[in-house]
Amino acid sequence: MIKKVSQHIVQEEPLVFELSSPGKRGYQLPELDVPAVDANAVLGSENVRGEISDFPEISEFEVVRHFTRLSTWNYAIDLGLYPLGSCTMKYNPRVNELVARTEGLAWAHPYQPDSLSQGCMEIVAALERALAEITGMDAVTLQPAAGAHGEFTGILMMRALLEKRGRARKKVLVPDSAHGTNPATASMVGYAVENIKSNERGMVDVEVLNRVMTEDVAGLMITNPNTVGVFEENIRKICGIIHDKGGLVYMDGANMNALVGIARPGEFGVDVMHLNLHKTFSTPHGGGGPGSGAVAVAKVLTPFLPSPRLKRDGEAWRWNYDLPDSIGRVRAYYGNFGVLVRALAYIMAHGGNGLRQATLDALLNANYLRVLLEPYYEIAYKAPSMHEAVFSDDRQAKKGVRTGDIAKRLIDYGFHPYTVSFPLIVRGALMIEPTETESKRELDLFIDAMISIAKEIEQNPELVLTAPHSTRTKRVDEVTAARKPVVRWTPKSNASQAAD
């Protein structure tokens, strides 16, 4: 089998400034055949830009080649498997891009009057209905811009409901396996965070939960399946414990790729949850946005949904702002509309059976990968995987090789690394999510690479400790890169100034 080891087309590329040579131009205009205008007189000299020092002078063709060569240094889902656990980096069908770019949708303006936006409003309404059906909840808001923003919206609504009942309460419970955004959200809404320890199977410990759940606790933020890729089998009991003391259950639905079409959180007792439309429902998100953190709520929370809400007025839709209990707007306009269009196109094209099949394929791929890698890597919790598998570097650590080193070596095999060192409850975690869109051939190449690395560690750990070997940049100082990034090029003429 061909191993996927790859190298970049070019290993070095100067900055565009360094390619510059005086007098070169990327355009050629015919001679002026009308009287020249004095720009300073027309626009005012304060609005007219003078010469920019050290501005690159380069031909059109050189610009095109320069940026095309740079683009070959990127890794993308269009090149191969992107196994980042928790992120659901799946391939998103191109047809949904086509739908989102339909002229009437792409050019719609949020300030168009309702009478000219009925089609867009129907799309919003249809997506809200579809997501309510998928989650088993009563209503959905599409305003939040991403998952963390959805969490914020959800906990604000929880707080509003509890305040209405008389007391906002003080604390929110968060399992120690949670994504970092969960405690951050609770804290931003003004709650103290109480961590609850997972049991030896990576699940919420019901005994512990029983002890810490009091009438000072507003609720629980739980991820299901949780971040070790395991389904919380006591979820009904957990929700019962919270509800018995008057609290509410928030579910982080970032892992819905494991549940869509199979289980509905509304039926196991969840009161409010978010979905990452950019993870589960077909918006590419490698570049960091835009996304959508749709929030679904049970009936008790519907009066608190962000304003405005869609309302049917005879034959037409209109935006209703008359919502006395609403937490108000959480975002300008009505959400990231292009993302909503993609999600609805994806859901409608698949239908219920198609969505369910996608989930089953995601589970199959994760379990296939887990079973074949288990002889080589320590599985964190011995339970069937949902949509992702979490290993630890325990065996490799004995040779001095850690999860980050294995991830670097994976780059030499032509793959994007998996999620490194998360969740924090697994020492030296390797978190791998293949998603449903990978073929058996691609999975086998990945598994082959992982096994090959495990063998290298046995025979020659140095090879892995010094990886990557095929990239233009080898190991970087990640702490300095994160804390003191140099993101601005300094022209030579200013270099001495910058050094001061």
Ligand X SMILES: *Cc1c(COP(=O)(O)O)cnc(C)c1O
**Which residues contribute to the site for ligand X (CB under 6 A)?**
86, 146-148, 179, 181, 223, 227, 252, 254, 276, 291, 293
Identity of the residue, 275 or 447, whose beta carbon is nearer to ligand X in the bound complex? 275
Q: Whole-angstrom Cα distance, residue 85 to residue 217? A: 31
Smallest gap from Cβ 355 to ligand X, in A, equals 19
Find the angle CA(400)-CA(403)-CA(408) to the nearest 5 degrees. Answer: 100
Taking a C-beta distance cutoff of 8 angstroms, is the pair 81, 284 a contact? no
Q: How deeply is 387 buried, as exposed, middle or buried, from its count of CB atoms within 10 A (0-12, 13-18, 19+)?
A: buried
Give the largest CA-CA distance in the chain: 85
Q: Which residues, in sequence order, are CB contacts of 310 under 8 Å at separation 6+?
A: 121, 124, 125, 128, 317, 318, 319, 320
b (16+ CB within 10 A) / e for 265-303: bbebbbbbbbbbbbbbbbbbbeeeebbbbbbbbbeebbb
- Looking at the DSSP bridge assignments, the partners of residue 297 are 139, 272
Of 305, 341, 342, 337, the closest CA to residue 323 belongs to 305
Identity of the residue, 4 or 274, whose beta carbon is nearer to ligand X in the bound complex? 274
Smallest gap from Cβ 222 to ligand X, in A, equals 11
Of 415, 417, 400, the closest CA to residue 458 belongs to 400
Identity of the residue, 87 or 401, whose beta carbon is nearer to ligand X in the bound complex? 87
- Distances in whole angstroms, Cα of residue 434 to Cα of each of 77, 243, 443: 11, 35, 8
Smallest gap from Cβ 146 to ligand X, in A, equals 4
Of 470, 500, 486, the closest CA to residue 75 belongs to 470
